[in-house]
Structure 1
């Protein structure tokens, strides 16, 4: 018995991340594959890893799942009903989490290409998409931002939603 093909999506609420989400759903439909929407998260306090946050692990995990649902709501109006969808949260940095999760040769890893964070740029590193492209064992589909996203600076879907509600 062969395992079903998988499309692995790194979920992020940036404009390029939402575009990648729509593309991943399309790829899952074309390939008749399972779509695994993965949101990696790290408990932080003041920007540093906080091991004392274990008390709130289940709440943080639930919040990460809510972020996945919010991304689908924003990008597509809800979870697609015609795709076998799995919502996955991983307590790890996004790049390593996605590369480890997409371990099969026939997986397709879909990530949005955005600007790396300030610290990553200062350290001379790329962002999550570059990490995945350099280390993944499976094909990686890097979805570039559209023209609107490239003209905006660090706008997330949450920021847009807040501005529209005001």
Structure 2
């Protein structure tokens, strides 16, 4: 699974969990930051699983001929969801709705994607708001999980030496 796929799916899940009055967007950019709003931030850290060797295996066709290789990168993804609203109770209800929407992935990660595992939905909590005027309420929760990013290379990547018809190296 690619990081971009994760972000698109997470945004889609947030949009489905929140009222349409709450636009969902990722951090950054020059769009307005005031409520009502849901912001998604993320951080992906590569893990050292499987040692330093990313080789997952050789890809073969139905006849058993090697057609390429598959490489894996393992990551810990941390999604940071922030809700901004003018009403304190709305903030708390919406954060609970977000936690509820992602909770099924703790039970069955494949519902999100087969390449994810070990989901942990954090506890919603209020956050400090550095903005004085206009006054709004802000809260958030953190979602963590592991995922594998797969890279396939074709057969030309399986050897670094080319051979001529008579078998001598070039």
Normalising by the smaller structure, the TM-score range is under 0.3
Task: Give the number of the structure whose residues are more often helix, by fraction.
Answer: 1
Task: Give the number of the structure whose residues are more often strand, by fraction.
Answer: 2
Q: Considering only CA atoms, is the larger Rg found in Structure 1 or Structure 2?
A: 2
Q: TM-score, normalised by structure 2?
A: 0.26
Q: TM-score, normalised by structure 1?
A: 0.26
Return the structure number with greater relative CO, CA threshold 8 A, min gap 6: 1
